[in-house]
Amino acid sequence: MDWPAEPIPDEDRLYYRVHRTYVRLDEIEPAAFANRPKGSKSMSVDGEKYTSPEETRARARKPIENAVVQFVAGQVRAVPGQKVEHSPDLLSGNRSHSDVIGEKTPEVRVHLSRIHTLVIPLGQDIHEAKQSNL
């Protein structure tokens, strides 16, 4: 299997899982947008070329506890200190895996909380999610 890293155009969408802890009355807290695991320099997202929001949610350990939001790559790149790079994950078989690289300061997290769109709300059944995103 050979999955070279590819350029991600500015107009491409990126999908990101958000745990229920961060969802307050359908708004996403800036705390959701963090580099993880602890010590990591990037936030994992999935690029639209090789995945869907439903697949992004299905990759969670407990999908039902997660919502999915989307970003536009160029808007993320406009946030201070952030780069977007494709980084396919051979180990987990996730060709869409990409990174938002850069320190997630309070300023960055507030900006990320303003540029996302909720695509799968919390608690939505996976089949409903598929229908509403068709």
Partner 1 sequence: MFPQAVLPSPLKEIDEVVESSRRILELKHDWDGEGASPIAESTWRRAVEFLRGTAYTLWTKHNLRMERPSLVPVADGSIDLHWKLSNRELLVNIPTANDEWASYYGDNRLGGNTVRGKLDTGAPNRWLFVWLTE
Binding residues for partner 1, rule: CB under 8 A, are 17, 19, 21-22, 24, 27, 29-31, 34-38, 60-62, 65-66, 105-107, 109-110
To partner 1, the closest distance from the beta carbon of 67 in angstroms equals: 12
To partner 1, the closest distance from the beta carbon of 91 in angstroms equals: 15
Q: Which residues face 118 on adjacent strands?
A: 69
Nearer to partner 1, 9 or 80 (CB): 80
To partner 1, the closest distance from the beta carbon of 4 in angstroms equals: 26
Nearer to partner 1, 2 or 27 (CB): 27
Nearer to partner 1, 60 or 101 (CB): 60
Q: How far is CA 48 from the centre of its chain?
A: 10
Nearest to 51 by CA among 102, 88, 24, 104: 88
Yes or no: say if 8 and 98 are a contact pair by the CB < 8 Å rule: yes
Nearer to partner 1, 6 or 34 (CB): 34
Burial environment of residue 26 by CB neighbours within 10 A (0 to 12, 13 to 18, 19 or more) = exposed
Nearer to partner 1, 6 or 89 (CB): 89
To partner 1, the closest distance from the beta carbon of 131 in angstroms equals: 25
Distance separating the N- and C-terminal Cα atoms of the chain: 29
To partner 1, the closest distance from the beta carbon of 65 in angstroms equals: 7
